[in-house]
Amino acid sequence: MSITLILFWFLSVLALFSAAMVVASKNPVYSVLWLILVFFAISGHYLLLNAQFLAIVNIIVYAGAIMVLFLFVIMLMNLNKSNEPKRNKWLNLAGVLAGGCLLLVLVAALKNAETKATLAETGTGNIGLIENLGKALFTDYVVPFEISSVLFLSAMVGAVVLGKKESSPDTAGQSGKSSEK
Amino acid sequence: MISLTGLNLILPQLIIALAAIIVMLSIAVKRCHRFTNLFTLLSFAAAAISVLYIPRGSFGVSSLFVVDGFGKFFTVLIACAGFVITLMSYHYLNAREKRNEEYYILLLLSSLGALTMVISNHFVSFFLSLEVLSVSLYALIGYLKEEPAGIESGIKYLVLAAVSSSFLLFGIALIYMQTGHLDLSGIAAGLSSSGEFSGVFIAGLAMVIVGIGFKMALVPFHLWTPDIYAGASAPVSAFVATVSKGAVFAFLLRLFYSTGGLENKNVWTVFTIIAVASMLFGNWLALRQQNIKRLLAYSSIGHLGYLMVAFLAITDRGMQAATFYLVVYFTGMLAAFGTVIYMSNKKGEALYIDDYRGLFWKKPWLAAIFTTVMLSLAGIPLTAGFLGKLYLLTAGTEVGIWLLVIVLVVSSGIGLFYYLRVVAVMFAGKNENEASSEPVIGKIFPHGLVLTLLFLLLLWFGVYPSSLLEIIQQIASVIR
């Protein structure tokens, strides 16, 4: 058993276990902490695939920036067990049934999947290196790359529009005047 | 590397993207609703006209987009719908909201998402377009801050659309796992080499259908529609009903026709069930509605079900019928929501059917337009809706999908009832309780004018459809 394989199994088990714990944890703060662990495990997978850049970005952006934000929001919202709304028992049952059906279908589908076409190139692929990634992004994928920047623009504008405080009466009067002109 | 000719091919998309940025910068300099509105109108018009400068034929743009007749047709359709919605929004926003300019940025950006979606030839570009479309829509739906219902439906849409997007992504991942490709031609090649559909591929396709079905509000995934239509402001509801659904339908056609996904019996059966359920439930649930926007929501579910009949015919005729019907549906829905906007006042929208009681005696012309729209949506002869349905039926009978054809006829019969109910109310006696002392928002210009134009279009397509059909026949065979 090579060291790569051992690492792969370790990271996979870690990722799956932490992902399950994200859902299972009662306390949302614990969920977020488990989620950070998931991201670290996935970054480890990226490293095994020789995609150092993706691994670093994943840790910096997701595990670092986004999860800290998440943590802050959850702590500010002060979610306790007491103010959690009571769920309907039948709704729970329906959710379990629906999710279980989906799981069953996916497991059945994946059981018969051919694995020969899906071998990963551990350590040999060079798609994830920063040079190749940059080349791909700015040649073949330049239009979608620009579209994703538009996506951020629309998210930003949307957030500002929804989040902005109602303007005070005097500024509202001004904007009203300017629209009348 | 993308060359200048490549840029030329995506000219309409570039114009809209640029317009959104210019509008944003102009707001930073000075707020002027009239200028912003005019500029948005001009950019939609320019996007529609710029299609003429795209050379004929089918061109790939960096393997992610394909610009062909089909894509160009939908580009024009979406740009025109955007134009009409912008025109209708002006007085509405003036009356109901103080800060209007950002609305146009969001409108332009979500139209951009729709415009890139109709030329997508790759799951990456499709998903990105879908997100651009929906992220701007979240904010658009909750735009009117004084309406708690708007914010509520915005959050509902946000949560549900995010869930459906995650389904879509998982499905795309499974398809990628099986075929090793994300572009549609690659998926088709991967499928034809392996011969039979594997379980993973079908599971992936099913999850993609969940994502797409949600956006098109087909029946098992339709629960959000009435709430969002009723909660959002009327111009945004019109946008959700037309542009958002039409663009996803265009991609659906491209996806299943170019990969041959429908040749699998299971996939076909799933779509048949979805179509039958959409037609029946959409029309059935509309029967008891008192709120006109909810009524239109359920009716749009039914209409998307009708479209699926032509989609399932898998013939050139079916595609032409679907495209024709979509144009008719766009025109009808825009005019219907336009009437709702026209009748609204500063306090609120004319939501209930009773608000239209005796409309004929007060505003005969508006009542005539609304009657024609309702008749067209119901599919009465001499209107475009009738011919559209006729083409759907011939497309269905040609290949002998009798179950779908029969359900289409039956559900149209059910649908007739609630459309005629609205018409009957308009011609009923005068409204006794003249509670709405507020004047209506609609003005002769531009609102009455654009409604009249849509009304004339409905009659024109209904009496003389060959003008439109000739164009559609040219583009419909290209997609294969």
Do residue A123 and residue A144 come from a single domain? no
Chain A contact probe: residue of B26, B128, B152 with most A CBs at under 10 A = B128
A151–B132: do the CB atoms touch at under 8 Å?
A: yes
Give the confidence band of B86 by pLDDT, cuts at 50, 70, 90. Answer: very high
Closest to B31 (Cβ–Cβ): which among A140, A142, A178?
A178
Residue A135 lies in a domain: yes
CATH number at A75 reads 1.20.120.1200
SS3 content of chain B, % helix, strand, coil (to 5): 80, 0, 20
Say which residues have a Cβ less than 8 Å from residue B401's Cβ, sequence separation at least 6.
Answer: B272, B309, B312, B313
Which ipTM was obtained for this model? 0.86
Amino acid found at B331: T
A39 occurs within a structural domain: yes
For chain A, how many structural domains are there in total?
2
Note down the domain range covering A148: 129-165
> pLDDT class for B149, splitting at 50, 70, 90?
confident
pLDDT band at B215 (very low <50, low <70, confident <90, very high): very high
Q: Report which of B253, B229, B230, B231 is spatially closest to residue B242, judged by C-alpha positions.
A: B229
Amino acid identity of B69? Answer: G
Res. B433 pLDDT band, cuts 50 70 90: low
Nearest CA to B358 out of B286, B442, B435, B423 is that of B423
Contact B109 A153 (CB under 8 A): yes
- Please tell me what DSSP assigns to residue B434: -
Interface of A with B in 97-156 (CB under 8 A): 105-106, 108-110, 112-114, 117-118, 139-144, 146-148, 150-151, 153-155
- The pLDDT score that the predictor gives to residue B63 is 79
Q: Same domain, yes or no, for A52 and A141? A: no
Q: Which one of A110, A137, A157 makes the best mutation probe of the B interface by having the most chain B beta carbons within 10 Å? A: A157
Strand segments, DSSP code E, in B132-258 are none
Task: For residue B225, count other CB atoms closer than 10 A to its CB.
Answer: 27
What pLDDT, on the 0 to 100 scale, is given for residue A175? 41
Q: Is A180 within the bounds of a domain?
A: no
Q: Which of A42, A105, A154, A160 to mutate: most B Cβ within 10 Å? A: A154
Residue B352 has pLDDT above 50, yes or no: yes
Residue in this structure with the two tokens 């103010």, named with its chain if needed: A83
A86-95, B47-56, B165-174 — which is least confidently predicted?
A86-95
Vertex B265 angle, CA B189 and B256, to 5°: 45
Q: Do A17 and A35 fall within a single domain?
A: yes
Across A75-89, B161-175, B335-349, B401-415, least confident range:
A75-89
Mean pLDDT in residue range A135-163: 88
Looking at per-residue pLDDT, the higher value among B148 and B307 belongs to B307
**In a domain? residue A172:** no
The pLDDT score that the predictor gives to residue A173 is 41
pLDDT at A180 over 60: no
What's the pLDDT at A82? 57
Q: How confident is the model at residue A176 (pLDDT cuts 50, 70, 90)?
A: very low
Question: B219: buried, middle or exposed (CB in 10 Å: 19+, 13-18, 0-12)?
Answer: buried
**Cα of B139 to nearest chain A Cα, Å:** 5
pLDDT band at A153 (very low <50, low <70, confident <90, very high): very high
Any domain includes A86: no
pLDDT tens, B103-140?
Answer: 999 999 999 999 999 999 999 999 999 999 999 999 99
Residue A175 covered by a domain: no
A71 and A149 housed in the same domain: no
Q: How far apart are the C-alpha atoms of A136 and B384, rounded to whole Å?
A: 47
**Rounded-to-integer distance, Cα B424 and Cα B2, Å:** 57
What's the mean pLDDT when you consider all of chain B?
88
Please state, in angstroms and rounded to a whole number, the distance separating the CA atoms of residues B304 and A126: 45
Q: Are residues A139 and A71 in the same domain?
A: no
Q: Do A162 and B124 touch (CB under 8 A)?
A: no
Mean pLDDT of B329-350: 89
State whether A155 and A121 are in the same domain: no
Both tokens of B141, joined, read 């739906």
Residues B254-267 pLDDT 10s: 998 888 778 888 88
Place A171 in a pLDDT band, splitting at 50, 70 and 90.
very low
* pLDDT at residue B438 greater than cutoff 80: no
CA dist A45 → A122, A131, B36, B169 (Å) = 9, 19, 49, 20
pLDDT band at A113, cuts 50/70/90? low
Q: Is B110 on the interface with A (CB under 8 A)?
A: yes
B33 closest CB neighbour out of A105, A160, A179: A179
Q: Are residues A137 and A121 in the same domain?
A: no
**Strand, helix or coil for residue A81:** coil
Helices (H), B234-264: 234-239, 245-259
Closest CA to B226 of B147, B297, B156: B297
| Predicted pLDDT at A135 | 84
- What does the DSSP 8-state code read for residue A91? H
| Phi, psi dihedrals of residue B65, rounded to the nearest 5° | -125, 150
Tell me if B120 sits within 8 A of A136, measured CB to CB.
no
- The answer to whether the CB of B128 falls within 8 A of the CB of A142 is no
The pLDDT, as a whole number, for residue B5 is: 61
- Tokens of residue B415, six digits: 């649908």
Same domain? A123 vs A133? no
pLDDT at B306 over 70: yes
**A87: in domain:** no
B431 in contact with A, Cβ within 8 Å: no
Distance CA B289, CA B301 (A): 14
Pick from B99, B112, B203: CB nearest A109: B203
Q: In a 3-state reduction of DSSP, which class is residue A78? A: coil
Residues near B100 by Cβ (< 8 Å), separated by ≥ 6?
A179, B33, B36, B93, B94
Q: Partners of B65 in the beta sheet?
A: B61, B120
In chain B, % of residues over pLDDT 70: 95
Nearest CA in chain A to B144: A162
C-beta separation of B151 from B145 below 8 A: yes
Chain B residue closest in CA terms to A107: B200
Q: What is the percentage of chain B residues whose pLDDT exceeds 90?
A: 56
Contact residues, B window 80-99, toward A, CB-based 8 Å cutoff: 94, 98-99
Please state the rounded mean pLDDT for residues B465-471. Answer: 87
DSSP β-bridge partners for residue B122: B183
Do A54 and A133 belong together in one domain?
no
**pLDDT computed for residue B432 by the predictor:** 58
Q: Which residues does residue B67 pair with via DSSP β-bridges, in sequence order?
A: B59
**Residue A101, in any domain of the structure:** no
User: Which residue has tokens 């995934």?
Assistant: B221
Lowest-pLDDT range of A56-60, B54-58, B107-111, B421-425: B54-58
CB B290 within 8 A of CB B357: no
Query: What is the rounded radius of gyration, in angstroms, for the C-alpha atoms of chain A?
Result: 23
Does A70 share its domain with A9?
yes
Residues A63 and A133 in one domain: no
What's residue A168's pLDDT?
46
Cis ω on the peptide bond leading into residue B226 (within 30° of 0)?
no
| Rama region for B9: left / alpha / beta (φ>0; ψ in -120 to 50; rest) | alpha
* Residue A127 predicted with pLDDT over 80: no
Window 30-89 of A: residues touching B by CB (8 A cutoff) are none
The structural domains of chain B, with segments of one domain joined by +, span 283-480
Q: What percent of chain A has pLDDT over 90?
A: 25
Beta strands B65-67; B59-61: pairing state: antiparallel
Position A169 scores a pLDDT of 46
- Check pLDDT > 60 for residue B234: yes
Residues A72, A7 within the same domain: yes
Q: What is the mean pLDDT of residues A171-176?
A: 41
pTM: 0.90
